[in-house]
């Protein structure tokens, strides 16, 4: 085959098989959804940064969760919107970069959610040592590691694919994924398989830490019932985010590796987009409505803007 004889430098995202009318409708809906994601996450970030009363570990972790949502979605939505209006071609280097951003964002989400679970464990199960343990220095280190380790793990995963000779150029997805690139290589690199299994085990350890935290959280709340209020107030949003994130990512991973080829392309696209559609949009609203301090701060900002608008209208009427 000619494709085997020459180095493949351009890849085709063959999951975007829509008519022009459908592309325009999908472009508008996707753009609207992306704006909702950006607005929701930016609102939470700005509220937490501006209010010094929210400079606590739980809210700092939440702020980083929202920043990571913006980081992950910027690796998908701009390129996807561009593809809906033009060709579905991406360079090999661009494919590697997109895969790295999306994969590292997914892993950072899990790391930050693990930190939030451990933070709630210390706050509820060991309240007397919470402030002495969750110091600014320790929180800074935790946040730094929650970004550094996922970036490093995914960099190693991506680096093992660089320079690999490809025997195909069609990716049956709407965005680049390392696993799909591996399936295109003429001889899959063994180093990539080793790094992939290491990453799976590493993040399985995160899952065990979350499970361990919630076992002790629930046990403590059963013994001391007064902790149930704190649990439902601060742990329930985290559980919603964790479950939503885990289900959407798990569906995509399982379907990508073991899914049937007979499933329609539209269902395939939806399965691939779930974790980029639901968690980034749901998390800001869940935390914004459930966490009292953030909800009150947002309401105060809205009321202040309404008051300022009324004052401006009254001043205009008096002058006129």
The mean pLDDT value of the chain amounts to 84
Position 97 in a domain = yes
What is the rounded CA–CA span in Å between residue 281 and residue 275? 10
Residue 171 pairs in a beta bridge with 13
Q: Is residue 96 part of a domain?
A: yes
Cα Rg, the chain, nearest whole Å: 23
Query: Looking at the domain assignment, is residue 4 inside a domain?
Result: no
In a domain, residue 212? The reply is yes
Per-residue confidence (pLDDT) for residue 298, from 0 to 100 = 74
Tell me, yes or no, whether 305 lies in a domain: yes
- Are 71 and 101 a contacting pair, CB within 8 Å? yes
Q: How confident is the model at residue 270 (pLDDT cuts 50, 70, 90)?
A: confident
* Residue 1: inside a domain: no
Residue 317 banded pLDDT, cuts 50, 70, 90: low
- Is 2 inside a domain boundary? no
Provide the number of structural domains found in the chain: 1
Range among 51-55, 103-107, 282-286 rated most confident = 103-107
CATH number of the domain where residue 313 is located:
1.20.1070.10
Does residue 279 fall inside a structural domain? yes
Helix axes 92-125, 57-74, angle to 10 degrees: 160
Strand order in the sheet with 170-171: 89-91, 10-13, 170-171
| Band of pLDDT at residue 313, cut at 50, 70 and 90 | low
Confidence at 40, pLDDT banded by 50, 70, 90: very high
Confidence of residue 4 (pLDDT cuts 50, 70, 90): very low
93-111, pLDDT tens digit by residue?
888 899 999 999 999 999 9
- pLDDT tens for residues 201-242? 999 999 999 999 999 888 888 887 777 877 787 788 888 889
The pTM (predicted TM-score) of the whole model is 0.86
Percent of the chain with pLDDT over 90: 35
233 neighbors 290 (Cβ within 8 angstroms): yes
What is residue 35's predicted lDDT score, i.e. its pLDDT?
A: 96
Compute the distance between CA of residue 42 and CA of residue 49 in angstroms, rounded to an integer: 10
- State the residue range of the domain holding 298: 9-319
């Amino acid at each position: 085959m000619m494709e085997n004889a020459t180095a493949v430098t351009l890849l085709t995202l063959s999951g975007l098989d829509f008519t022009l009318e459908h592309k325009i409708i999908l472009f508008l809906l996707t753009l609207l959804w992306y704006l909702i994601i950006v607005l929701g996450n930016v609102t939470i970030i700005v509220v937490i940064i501006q209010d010094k009363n929210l400079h606590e570990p739980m809210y700092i972790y939440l702020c980083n969760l929202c920043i990571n949502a913006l980081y992950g979605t910027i690796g998908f939505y701009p390129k996807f919107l561009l593809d809906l209006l033009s060709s579905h071609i991406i360079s090999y280097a661009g494919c590697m970069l997109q895969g790295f951003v999306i994969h590292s964002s997914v892993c950072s989400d899990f790391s930050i959610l693990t930190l939030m679970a451990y933070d709630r464990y210390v706050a509820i199960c060991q309240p007397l040592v919470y402030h002495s343990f969750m110091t600014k220095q320790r929180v800074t280190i935790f946040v730094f590691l929650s970004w550094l380790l996922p970036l490093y793990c995914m960099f190693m995963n991506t680096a093992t694919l660089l320079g690999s000779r490809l025997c195909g150029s069609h990716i049956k997805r709407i965005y680049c994924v390392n696993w799909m690139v591996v399936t295109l290589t003429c001889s899959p690199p063994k180093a990539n398989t080793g790094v992939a299994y290491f990453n799976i085990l590493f993040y399985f350890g995160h899952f065990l830490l979350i499970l361990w935290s919630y076992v002790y959280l629930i046990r403590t709340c059963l013994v001391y019932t007064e902790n149930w209020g704190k649990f439902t107030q601060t742990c329930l949003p985290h559980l919603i985010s964790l479950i939503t994130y885990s289900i959407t990512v798990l569906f995509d991973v399982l379907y990508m590796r073991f899914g049937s080829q007979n499933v329609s392309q539209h269902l395939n696209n939806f399965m691939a987009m779930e974790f980029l559609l639901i968690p980034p949009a749901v998390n800001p609203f869940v935390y914004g409505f459930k966490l009292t301090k953030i909800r009150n701060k947002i309401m105060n900002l809205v009321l202040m803007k309404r008051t300022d608008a009324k004052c401006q209208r009254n001043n205009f009427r008096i002058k006129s």
